[in-house]
């Protein structure tokens, strides 16, 4: 069963039918940053763009975070 399932998934991916979820906030990241720079509150940005408020905060945290990595990730400091 698993072998045939893998074959089917591979075939679907080759045909472009197995794409996964389309990103929403990542596509609108520049627009979210511009709206925030213009002084709009995250809740208002979320309502206008039709995304979750938490997604707006997550994107802004990742864009403004000191780690430069993904939001919520820790960066180990080098000790010398």
Q: Which pLDDT tens digit goes with each residue over 10-35?
A: 999 999 888 888 878 888 999 999 99
- According to the model, what pLDDT value does residue 51 have? 93
Q: Is residue 18 part of a domain?
A: no
| Confidence (pLDDT) at 49 | 94
Domain-located, residue 80: no
Classify residue 38: in a domain, yes or no. yes
For 36, the domain range is 23-64
Whether residue 41 lies inside any domain: the answer is yes
CB 60 within 8 A of CB 43: no
> 34-61, pLDDT tens digit by residue?
999 999 999 999 999 999 999 999 999 9
Q: Tell me, yes or no, whether 16 lies in a domain.
A: no
Q: Does residue 44 lie within any of the structural domains?
A: yes
Query: How many structural domains compose the chain?
Result: 1
Task: Tell whether 55 is covered by a domain.
Answer: yes
3-state helix, strand, coil in the chain (%, to 5): 50, 0, 50
């Amino acid at each position: 069963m698993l072998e045939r399932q893998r074959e089917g998934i591979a075939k679907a991916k080759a045909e472009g039918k197995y794409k996964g979820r389309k990103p929403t906030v990542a596509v609108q990241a520049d627009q979210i940053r511009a709206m925030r720079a213009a002084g709009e509150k995250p809740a208002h940005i979320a309502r206008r763009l039709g995304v979750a408020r938490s997604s707006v905060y997550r994107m802004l945290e990742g864009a403004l975070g000191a780690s430069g990595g993904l939001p919520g990730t820790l960066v180990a400091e080098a000790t010398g």
